[in-house]
Amino acid sequence: MRQTRVIRVGTLAVVLVALGAASAAPPAVAQSLTDRFKSLFGGGSDDKQENLPASGGPPADPTDGLTCPPVNIRAGASTYAVAAPGKQAVGNDVRFQASITKTARECNLNGSEIIGKIGIQGRVVAGPAGAPATVDIPMRIAVVQGGIGEKVIATKAYRTTVQMTADGSVPFTIVAEDMVYPVPPPGTNSDNYVFYIGFDPQALTPERGAKKRK
């Protein structure tokens, strides 16, 4: 018997393939990332829901019926453009621009917590000013309770590095497997929960207190 139950999972995005060759990591690491993405989102039914106990069986679990939040891109955070030093990221001063192309998600119930797994695929395109050899991609994922006045339940920053190629167009992938948040309390409509994603340049800045100790 599985120790972690899979709760209802919405329709997943198209399976992402052929990512290993374009990743910034060495070939072995890139292949591992691709395998994780395929394993997480590539198999089984598009809509999985655990069977509820038959009539007369054990009492219904109060967490039954929880949904896996949809993935939405934050307004204004769907692209990430970087300019030449001292310039604005417009016109011929753009060095590169990244955008999000596909997403997928899965949710597992573990006791009183939900573990969200989010997959993001995008593309980096070199600009007129010329992209550097390597590009850092900053991303933020947040679990948000919608309704009257949004409430951030959990948030975490992620980043990945890609190597640009001669054709100036490279895909990237981020797989976040540790978005943990509490099960919505009784009386809360879990359908109001959303996974918000978006580029976040601040994710490239070291957090306070993260400086190396002497």
Is 56 among the domain residues?
A: no
pLDDT digits (tens, 9 = 90+) for 43-66: 433 333 333 333 444 444 444 557
The amino acid at residue 89 is: A
Domain of residue 184, residue span = 5-10+24-44+66-81+102-120+135-204
Decide which of 1 and 179 is more confident.
179
User: 18-27, 95-104, 171-180: which has the minimum mean pLDDT?
Assistant: 18-27
Is 159 among the domain residues?
A: yes
Q: What does the pLDDT average to over 163-183? A: 94
Is 34 among the domain residues?
A: yes
**SS3 of 202, please?**
helix
Longest dimension (CA), the chain: 70
Residue 20 CB coordination number (10 Å):
17
| Gyration radius of the chain over CA positions | 20
Is 143 among the domain residues?
A: yes
How many domains does one find in the chain? 1
What pLDDT does 150 receive? 87
Is 93 among the domain residues?
A: no
* Residue 8 and residue 47 in contact, taking contact as beta carbons nearer than 8 Å: yes
The amino acid at residue 34 is: T
Give pTM, 2 decimals: 0.69
Is 112 among the domain residues?
A: yes
